[in-house]
Homo-oligomer: A and B are copies of this chain.
Amino acid sequence: MDQAELPEIAHAHVAFDDGLTLECGLALRRLTVAYRTYGRLNADRSNAVLVCHALTGDQYVAEQHPLTGKPGWWEMVVGPGLPIDTDRFFVVCANVLGGCMGSTGPRSPRDDMDQPNPPRWGTDFPPVTIRDMVRAQKRLIEHLGITRLFAVIGGSMGGMQVLEWAASYPDAVFAAVPIATAANHSAQNIAFNEVGRQAIFADPDWLGGTYWAHGRVPARGLAVARMIAHITYLSEQALTRKFGRRLRGAQAAGSFDDTFEVESYLRHQGSSFVRRFDAASYLTITRATDWFDLAADHGGDLSAAFRGTRTRFCLISFSSDWLYPTAESRTIARALNRAAANVSFVEIATDKGHDAFLLDEPDFHRTLAGFLAGCAEHAGLPA
């Protein structure tokens, strides 16, 4: 397996020299937010759509990825004439705080040392929360001269950010689309994340978190973490449909090679992931998702997070998603109802599991396009 460090890339970004004080109380002296935009901001700055990426996503939503060379992760959704129509909307996506694609995170040089070439933060990077990620995005949005977002949209951990945006900055969010997400992690979600973290810690190249200093990468542990997570992104039906019990070739029974096609697929998922993602960021960001608990942040009452909101919500879940099952979206919908919010809730029937929000799901795309069109009309956006 390739043990090379992630290449250094010059990502488009903005730097805030006044930094950011985190929820944990620690202050980053300098905050960098790497981001990409698509489409054009209109004259009254009313057509901005913030897309929030998932755990291992990034800001390269609708263009070739600079590391992998692959298409952007939401090219089916964001673009001219697509559900998030870049002929109409100005789309912004920022790499999350704690990430590894240009925003401040464990790979950034420490800013708490007065020396010319400080080491990287590594595992000393302060813990960040979903709220911290959203506060960093807010800084970017203000920097772009945008007071109110037409919409905030995201799936999975991106959906948590959408919920946090709506709760923290209700007047800045006209419409919110939390997709395949939850207001907190179940014990099972925490458990899967924890096993992934333990796999990273068990890698000999983890070196107690000092791997960068030794030119190493805990690639095998990170790959195992990705493989575990990847299973949870799919459904049993999707795995059966894609692979079943098909063998790769006429190999002998009992070999520990990847004799089943599903094994080969998983190994590929693991090894390609480590070429684009950093282990310390994986730890930092999974922790943020485990700690996210919007009800707990509002006195144990999820509806209190949305009291008085005028944001229009569209909750979308997928019937075969067992990582963030429909019941989680239903919990959010009920809380929004208790807060007398404007909310629609759609469960998309699919056997593709959690990953459906990234795949070709015409019903999902129609739902998203329809909701945004209706909101644009209410907001008085030119057609």
Report which A residues bind B (CB closer than 8 A).
23-24, 123, 126-129, 184-188, 190-192, 194-195, 197-199, 201-204, 220-221, 223-224, 227-228, 231, 234, 236, 239-240, 242-245, 252-256, 258, 260, 262-263, 266-267, 270, 283-284, 287-288, 290-291, 293, 322
Contact = CB atoms under 8 A, between A and B. Distances in A.
B186 A198 contact: no
Contact of A291 (B202, B254, B287): B254
Given A186-B239, A187-B244, A227 B253 contact: no
Contacts of A195: 224, 227-228, 231, 266
A254 B187 contact: no
Q: Quick one: which of A195, A287, A293 has the most chain B CB within 10 A?
A: A195
B287 A227 contact: no
A283 B256 CA distance: 8
A198 B224 contact: yes
A185 B24 CA distance: 45
Given A129-B253, A187-B240, A262 B194 contact: yes
Contact of A263 (B191, B223, B255, B291): B191
Contacts of A184: 245
A187 B256 contact: no
Contact of A236 (B188, B221, B243): B188
A202 B188 contact: no
A227 B123 CA distance: 23
Nearest 3 CB-CB pairings of A with B: A127-B254, A204-B204, A202-B220
Nearest to A244: B187
Contact of A242 (B187, B197, B290): B187
B236 A287 contact: no
Given A24-B254, A256-B283, 7 more contacts: A127-B252, A190-B260, A190-B263, A198-B227, A202-B202, A202-B203, A254-B287
A286 to B, nearest CB: 10
A208 to B, nearest CB: 11
Given A198-B224, A224-B199, A287 B190 contact: no
A202 B322 CA distance: 28
Contacts of A256: 123, 197, 201, 283, 287
Nearest to A261: B187
A24 B252 contact: yes
A105 to B, nearest CB: 13
Q: Quick one: which of A253, A267, A293 has the most chain B CB within 10 A?
A: A253
A230 to B, nearest CB: 8
17 contacts: A127-B255, A129-B253, A186-B236, A186-B240, A187-B236, A187-B239, A187-B243, A187-B262, A188-B231, A188-B234, A190-B260, A198-B220, A198-B223, A199-B202, A202-B224, A204-B204, A253-B287
A358 B284 CA distance: 36
A178 B252 CA distance: 28
A236 B192 CA distance: 11
A221 B255 CA distance: 19
Contacts of A204: 203-204
